[in-house]
């Protein structure tokens, strides 16, 4: 296909002219003298303007890259050796196209929101607790790679190593929509660093993700429905032990939902953070009820054990990561565990939207 038609196709897919019309309307609204009188509304409009500007710029970048590729093809037809340059430009073009496609697939009601991620180890004691901590690090590194804000609001240390549970708030555009790919049970196969006989072990940990709810969305919580416990925050010991009861646990009695926060020394700040988490979980709970899709929520909380995993991470006897939903396999395990999960996210979004597999799976893993 000639690159001229590629440019036209990109324009059709990303609909830059339509986005330019939307942007012009927003600019007119922003220029209105009373625009800043409604801070919440103005903030949302400014965020929408930023997204439209980025989408238009991406479309221009793709058009430019496509023109460069077309030029290289012309040079090749004239007999010049441009294979290296062409291969490099095609890789860049493909990466940009995939990035834009990911953005297009994030069209759910809450996909653009920040996220609250909870991680729990499964059966296996220290092994699974260590695996849960590895997953926590992977998501923190993913957030760092994208310059997203991330705060661990609750962390319960494991016995000897790892964590018994963790909750982290990640702030950034489309974070909730992207991290939907991580909901479920993650399986690790490796030679255990805790086994003196160097045997191979299988560990499990579960991940669940909630959308953070803005203050403009009203989630009513009656005082009589809320049980509040305060306690001393756990820590590494010594001077880091919190000597005051600053940690907070909220239990919503009608639903049984429990949240807690202990990362701040101030009980007031921990209360605010816990309330934000509780509202997020209650909002998600109610949305699932309204959509008559409670089973979907339950399916994502399968028993943390064999047969329920969404993804396998094999470090021995070979090295491979496989997503069992999309069938995508990746051999560079270290890169993924260091937070580069974008390819897995993109494949999941395509699979969720179309039911089709987005990437090659040239190698398979044992069940």
Domains and CATH numbers, the chain: 3-105 (1.20.58.410), 115-212+294-354 (3.30.70.1660), 223-290 (3.30.160.20)
Cα first-last separation, the chain:
40
Q: For position 191, what pLDDT does the model report?
A: 93
Strands 226-231 and 247-252: antiparallel
Dihedral over Cα of 308, 313, 319, 322: its sign:
positive
Q: For position 231, what pLDDT does the model report?
A: 87
Q: Which tens digits make up the pLDDT trace of 54-77?
A: 778 877 888 888 888 888 888 889
Q: For position 12, what pLDDT does the model report?
A: 40
Dihedral over Cα of 25, 28, 32, 37: its sign:
positive
Q: Is the pTM of this model over 0.85?
A: no
* CA 3 to the chain's CA centroid: 33
Q: Which two tokens stand for residue 59?
A: 């479309």
Q: For position 330, what pLDDT does the model report?
A: 97
Q: Which two tokens stand for residue 356?
A: 């089709």
Query: Which residues of the chain are under the pLDDT cut of 50?
Result: 1-13, 237-241, 293-295, 297-298, 300, 302, 359-367
Residue 251 has, within 13 A of its CA and on its CB side, a CA count of: 6
């Amino acid at each position: 296909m000639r690159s001229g038609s590629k440019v036209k196709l990109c324009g059709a897919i990303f609909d830059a002219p339509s986005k330019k019309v939307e942007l012009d309307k927003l600019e007119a609204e922003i220029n209105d003298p009373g625009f800043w009188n409604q801070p919440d509304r103005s903030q949302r409009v400014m965020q929408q303007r930023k997204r439209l500007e980025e989408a238009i710029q991406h479309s221009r970048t793709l058009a430019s890259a496509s023109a460069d590729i077309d030029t290289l093809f012309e040079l090749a037809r004239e007999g010049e050796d441009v294979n290296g340059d062409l291969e490099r430009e095609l890789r860049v073009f493909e990466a940009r196209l995939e990035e834009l496609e990911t953005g297009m697939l994030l069209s759910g009601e809450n996909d653009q929101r920040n996220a609250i991620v909870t991680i729990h180890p499964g059966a296996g004691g220290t092994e699974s607790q260590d695996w849960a901590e590895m997953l926590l690090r992977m998501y923190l590194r993913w957030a760092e790679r994208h310059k997203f804000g991330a705060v661990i609001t609750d962390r319960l240390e494991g016995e000897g190593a790892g964590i018994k549970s963790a909750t982290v708030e990640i702030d950034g555009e489309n974070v909730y929509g992207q991290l939907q790919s991580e909901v479920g049970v993650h399986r690790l196969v490796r030679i255990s660093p805790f086994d003196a006989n160097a045997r191979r072990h299988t560990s499990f940990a579960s991940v669940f993700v909630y959308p953070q709810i803005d203050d403009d969305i009203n989630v009513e919580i009656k005082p009589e429905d809320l049980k509040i416990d305060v306690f001393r925050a756990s820590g590494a010991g010594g001077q880091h032990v919190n000597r005051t009861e600053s940690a907070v646990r909220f239990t919503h009695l009608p639903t049984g939902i429990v949240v807690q926060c202990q990362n701040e020394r101030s009980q007031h700040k921990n209360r605010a953070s816990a309330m934000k988490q509780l509202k997020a979980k209650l909002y998600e709970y109610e949305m699932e009820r309204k959509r008559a899709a409670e089973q979907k929520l339950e399916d994502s909380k399968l028993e943390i054990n064999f047969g329920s995993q969404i993804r396998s991470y094999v470090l021995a006897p070979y090295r491979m990561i496989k997503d069992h939903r999309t069938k995508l396999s990746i051999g560079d395990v270290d890169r993924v565990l260091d937070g580069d999960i974008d390819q897995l996210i993109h494949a999941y979004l395509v699979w969720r939207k179309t039911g089709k597999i987005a990437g090659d799976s040239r190698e398979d893993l044992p069940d």
